[in-house]
Structure 1
Amino acid sequence: MAKKRPSKPIKSVERVKDIQDYLKYRNYRNYVLFTVGVTTGYRAGDLVSLRVRDIKEALRRKEFEIFEGKKKNSKNIRERNRRPRIVEIRPKLSAILKDYIQDKKDYEYVFQSRKGTNHHIGVQAVSNMLKEAGEYFGLQDISAHSMRKTYAYKIYLESENNIVVVKEMLGHSSIEETKLYIGLDREMYHQYSKSLDDFLR
Structure 2
Amino acid sequence: MVKKKPADPIKNKETALDIQDYLKYKRERDYIFFILGISTGYRAGDLVKLKVRDIKTALNNGYFEILEGKKVNSKNIRKENIKPRIVKVIHNLEILLKKYIKGKKDYEYLFPSRKGKYITVSSISRILKEAGEEFGLKNITAHSLRKTFAYSIYVESKYDLLLVKEMLGHSSTEETKVYLGLDRETYDKYSDSLNNLIRVS
- Scaled to the shorter chain, the TM-score interval is over 0.9
Aligned partner of residue 86 in structure 2, secondary structure: strand
**Which residue does the alignment assign to 1:138?**
136
Aligned partner of residue 70 in structure 1, secondary structure: strand
**Which residue does the alignment assign to 2:60?**
60
Percentage of matched positions with identical amino acids:
61
Mark the runs of 5 or more structure 2 residues left unpaired by the alignment: none
Shift of 1:80: 2.0
Shift of 1:6: 1.0
Aligned partner of residue 110 in structure 2, secondary structure: coil
Residues 1-201 of structure 1: pairs in structure 2 closer than 5 A: 2-72=2-72, 79-116=79-116, 119-195=117-193
Hey, what's the Cα distance between the residues in 2 that align with 1:108 and 1:78? 30
Shift of 1:199: 6.8
Aligned partner of residue 81 in structure 1, secondary structure: strand
In the alignment, residue 38 of structure 1 is paired with which amino acid?
A: I
User: Given the superposition, is the C-alpha separation of residues 181 and 73 from structure 1 closer, same or farther in structure 2, using an over 3 Å criterion?
Assistant: closer
Shift of 1:69: 2.8
Hey, what's the Cα distance between the residues in 2 that align with 1:78 and 1:153? 29
Instruction: Please give the per-residue CA displacement for 1:93-113, whole angstroms capped at 9, x wherever unaligned.
Output: 001001101111111110000
TM-score normalised according to structure 1 size: 0.92
In the alignment, residue 148 of structure 1 is paired with which amino acid?
A: R
Aligned partner of residue 124 in structure 1, secondary structure: helix
Aligned partner of residue 72 in structure 2, secondary structure: strand
Aligned partner of residue 109 in structure 2, secondary structure: coil
TM-score normalised according to structure 2 size: 0.92
Instruction: Please give the per-residue CA displacement for 1:143-173, whole angstroms capped at 9, x wherever unaligned.
Output: 0000000000001101111111110110000
Hey, what's the Cα distance between the residues in 1 that align with 2:113 and 2:75? 29
Mark the runs of 5 or more structure 1 residues left unpaired by the alignment: none
Task: After the TM superposition, list the runs of 4 or more consecutive aligned residues in structure 1 that deviate by more than 3 angstroms.
Answer: 72-79, 192-201
Shift of 1:4: 1.7
**Alignment length (residue pairs):** 199
Hey, what's the Cα distance between the residues in 2 that align with 1:105 and 1:197? 59
In the alignment, residue 91 of structure 2 is paired with which amino acid?
A: P
Hey, what's the Cα distance between the residues in 2 that align with 1:171 and 1:123? 21
User: Given the superposition, is the C-alpha separation of residues 133 and 183 from structure 1 closer, same or farther in structure 2, using an over 3 Å criterion?
Assistant: same
Shift of 1:191: 2.5
Q: CA RMSD in A?
A: 2.0
Hey, what's the Cα distance between the residues in 2 that align with 1:200 and 1:115? 56
